[in-house]
């Protein structure tokens, strides 16, 4: 049997990652370029894959795509594979899957950026024998990707975990929240832009002992505690720009335990919470590796 | 092939339901008796199944059990199938599965009461082709059972959805909450006992236009909205004593839509929310029918 090659795309709001690989260990080529207009970006992606294919004399069996959204992922919908009502200029109702597929003449497997990241991280686990796996990203936005019994969960649409409501102590934190839909939902209180708006500076400038991080870890801990009592995850990966601040992790551990208050009796929560809630294994490659896995798994 | 017969048990804090059936349509016998001590209750269950088996001249291929908890459902644990640290007198660390199995010499399939109810309701759906299904019970306690891709979700332990944190407006509702672990978690604010403690009367006595129900529907709506953005359920069944007050449903629909504020664009949420969030199809039989399905599915 001839070797199979796969493509991967991580389409972000500002940057696009592209990659060609035989499998997760054998990366043939990778590149990163700015995300511009839909037309130009789709052209850039197309030319990249055509270029690598002709230079290396290979053809791609399929391409996995993790994209910013909202995406229509309902296979029965006439706009399946479209980026839908995004606020990003010129991008609303872009037929991402359809256009890539017709330009490249190879199957395209598309999912949200956060689901792709979740899938990349899940597939990096040594022990994949877990029912309930979650990847949370806390950055410009907040999102969650859920892998249940090895499959990405979509449900009705796709999870929008950033928008859960958590307790907001207005006495301690009078900042009203930055979400245009819900004001003080989790994303409205704890995303990068919320931090910047509340403290009038790039969060990177806030020292480790600033009360910003006490509040931030409290909000993250409320969200994770809700997640823990809701779907009882066996692994929670916490990624995204905001949690590049590694000092947040011990603060989050302490607060999750305080919030749950020994209600859930479980060694992993009580004594090994650092193994339950961890930074991404793949660092900034969760999304592109997950996109690759999407292609590999769907072709197999 | 000879006909197969199955047993079902719903072990509640005050009552125990037992049943023998060929399948969900052909019920051979059913009975209900008070839950007493562990020894007596296990004896009552055992005698019931032995009695029906000898009267009808049949033997049981397996018995499904939905039980109050907490239960140890980790198949690798030495206390798998035990009721563990329950506050219920005499019941802590009862080997429910083990004792029934050794008395009745037939396989016992055990899960939580709320998971059994979820499974019963899921199996009553005409269209089971959904990824994400939830059963929530709001009564003496609050709990959630999750069926993802047709399988009951356990994860690390089992979900304890009653204990999520939601916004608590102390100005509007100075009641501090009744949960001994978390005070004003969802269960602490919205369970039957919380209602009774806040309003100093059995909630059944509160008229439909009492502000108790405005608050109650708001708390339920916060919890359901969190659920919707977390796992994007395609069906949410809302059961339990408190929501026997059917006038709560329209109030909950309005408030869920207000809370989500058109963020999630989806016909089922925007125009058909009565089809997304519904009372149980099986009424008070969700649990016992789910226990039956547990036995049938595991034997098949």
- Identify the residue among B156, B171, B272, B273 best suited for mutation to test binding to A, counting A beta carbons within 10 A and taking the highest: B156
Choosing among A232, A267, A270, which should be mutated to test the B contact, i.e. which has the most B CBs within 10 A? A232
CB atoms within 10 A of CB A179: 22
Residue appearing with tokens 């019970």: B137
Residues 211-270 in B contacting A (C-alpha not used; CB under 8 Å): 222, 225-234, 259-266, 268-269
* pLDDT bucket at A15, cuts 50 / 70 / 90: very high
Between A156, A159, A265, which is nearest B268 by CB? A156
Closest CA to A137 of A195, A84, A213, A190: A190
CB distance A7 to A289 below 8 Å: no
Residue B158 has pLDDT above 90, yes or no: no
What's the mean pLDDT in A211-235?
97
Task: Please compute the mean of the pLDDT values over residues A163-192 and round it to a whole number.
Answer: 96
Q: B87 falls in which pLDDT band (50, 70, 90)?
A: confident
Q: What is the pLDDT of residue A234?
A: 96
A265 and B85 within 8 Å at the Cβ level: the answer is yes
Q: How many angstroms away from the CA of A164 is the closest CA of chain B? A: 5
- A99 vs A41, A94, A276, A294, B186, CA distance in Å? 11, 9, 40, 18, 46
Q: Does A278 touch chain B (CB under 8 A)?
A: no
What is the reported pLDDT for B88?
A: 86
Could you tell me which of B291, B295, B299 has the C-alpha nearest to residue B115? B291
Q: Which structure tokens are listed for B108? A: 């016992």
Mean pLDDT of all residues in A224-240? 96
- With the CA atoms of B187, A156, A69 and A33 taken in that order, what torsion angle do they form, in degrees rounded to the nearest 10? 110
- Closest residue in A to B236 (Cα) is A156
Least confident of A29-38, B83-92, B245-254, B269-278: B83-92
pLDDT number for residue A64: 98
* Apex A193 CA angle, A70 and A182, nearest 5: 60
Q: What is the count of residue pairs from A and B with beta carbons less than 8 Å apart?
A: 153
The rounded Cα A41 to chain-centroid distance in angstroms is 20
Mean pLDDT of chain B: 95
Say yes or no for a CB contact (<8 Å) between B230 and A161. yes
- With a cut of 60, say whether residue B123 has pLDDT above it: yes
**Could you give phi then psi for residue B83, rounded to 5 degrees?**
-80, 125
What element of type H or E holds A296? helix A286-299
Task: Kindly report the average pLDDT of chain A as a whole number.
Answer: 95
B183 touching A (Cβ < 8 Å): no
CB contact under 8 A, B231 and A166: no
Question: Chain A residues with CB inside 8 Å of B135's CB?
Answer: none
Q: Any idea which of A134-148, A213-227, B148-162, B245-259 has the lowest mean pLDDT?
A: B148-162
Nearest CA in chain B to A167: B167
Torsion from C-alpha of B246, B133, B263, A143, nearest 10 degrees: 140
Residue A85's pLDDT band, with cuts at 50, 70 and 90, is: confident
What would the DSSP string read from start to end of A127-191? ----SEEEEEEESSSEEEEEEETTEE--TTS---GGG------TTT------BTTTBSSHHHHHS
Name the residue with tokens 């999870």: A159
The predicted pLDDT at position A1 comes to: 53
Instruction: At B92, list the tokens.
Output: 């802590």
Find, in chain B, the residue whose alpha carbon is nearest to that of A261: B181
* Interval B23-27 mean pLDDT: 94
> How far from each other are the two terminal CA atoms of chain A, in whole angstroms?
13
Kindly list the residues from chain B whose CB atom is less than 8 angstroms away from the CB atom of residue A230: 144, 159, 161, 164, 226-227, 230-231
Q: Are A134 and A152 in contact (CB under 8 A)?
A: no
Of the residues B146, B152, B163, the best mutation for testing chain A's interface (the one with the most A CB atoms within 10 Å of its CB) is B163
From the list A85, A131, A149, the residue facing B265 with the nearest CB is A85
CB B11, CB B67: distance < 8 Å: yes
For residue B167, give how far its alpha carbon lies from the nearest alpha carbon of chain A (Å). 4
Per the CB < 8 A criterion, the answer to whether B173 and B191 are in contact is no
Q: What is the dihedral sign for C-alpha A274, A277, A279, A280?
A: positive
Please tell me the distance from the alpha carbon of residue A181 to that of residue A164, in angstroms, as a whole number.
12
Res B1 pLDDT > 60: no
pLDDT of residue B157: 81
Give the pLDDT score at A233: 96
Give, rounded to a whole angstrom, the gap between the first and last alpha carbons of chain B.
Answer: 13
What is the number of other CB atoms lying within 10 angstroms of the CB of residue B84? 16
Interface check A31 vs B, CB under 8 A: no
- Confidence category of residue A22, pLDDT binned at 50, 70, 90: very high
pTM beyond cutoff 0.90? yes
| pLDDT at A2 > cutoff 80 | no
DSSP symbols for B75-109: TTSTTTT-B-S-SSTT-TTB-HHHHHHHHH-S-EE
- Please tell me the predicted confidence (pLDDT) of residue A178: 96
Q: Which residues contact A159 (CB under 8 A, 6 or more apart)?
A: A143, A144, A145, A146, A153, B229, B230, B231, B232
CA distances from A203 to A200, A237, B275 (A): 9, 21, 43
Quote the tokens at residue B261. 């504020």
CA dist., res. A18 & res. A280, Å (int): 20
**Rounded CA separation B135/B286 (Å):** 10
| Helix or strand holding residue A109 (H, E) | strand A108-112
- According to DSSP, residue A241 is labeled G
Instruction: Give the C-alpha separation, A162 to A227, whole Å.
Output: 12
Residue B191 near residue B141 (C-beta atoms within 8 A): yes
The first and second tokens of residue B151, run together, are: 């399988």
pLDDT score recorded for residue B265 = 83
Cα nearest neighbour of A157 on chain B: B232
């Amino acid at each position: 049997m001839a070797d199979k090659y796969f493509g991967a795309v991580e389409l972000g709001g500002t940057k696009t990652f592209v990659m060609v690989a035989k499998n997760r260990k054998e990366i043939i080529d990778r590149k990163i370029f700015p995300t511009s207009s839909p037309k130009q970006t789709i052209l850039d992606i197309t030319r990249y894959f055509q270029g690598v294919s002709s230079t290396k004399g290979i053809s791609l069996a399929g391409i996995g795509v993790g994209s910013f959204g909202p995406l229509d992922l309902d296979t029965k919908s006439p706009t399946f594979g479209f980026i839908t009502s995004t606020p990003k200029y010129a991008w609303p109702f872009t037929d991402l899957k359809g256009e890539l597929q017709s330009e490249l003449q190879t199957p395209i497997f598309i999912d949200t950026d956060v689901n792709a990241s979740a899938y990349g991280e899940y597939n990096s686990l040594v022990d994949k024998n877990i029912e309930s796996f979650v990847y949370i990203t806390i950055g410009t936005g907040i999102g969650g990707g859920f892998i249940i019994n090895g499959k990405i969960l979509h449900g009705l649409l796709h999870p929008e975990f950033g928008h859960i409501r958590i307790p907001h102590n207005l006495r301690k934190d009078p900042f009203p929240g930055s979400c245009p839909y819900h004001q003080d939902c989790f994303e409205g209180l704890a995303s990068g832009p919320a931090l910047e708006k509340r403290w009038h500076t790039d969060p990177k400038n806030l020292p480790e002992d600033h009360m910003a991080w006490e509040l931030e870890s409290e909000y993250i801990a409320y969200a994770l505690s809700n997640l823990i009592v809701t779907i009882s995850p066996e692994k929670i990966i916490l990624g995204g720009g905001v949690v590049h601040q590694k000092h947040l992790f011990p603060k989050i551990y302490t607060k999750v335990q305080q919030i749950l208050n020994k209600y859930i009796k479980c060694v992993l929560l009580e004594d090994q919470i650092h193994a339950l809630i961890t930074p991404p294994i793949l660092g900034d490659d969760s999304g592109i590796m997950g996109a690759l896995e999407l292609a590999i798994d769907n072709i197999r």
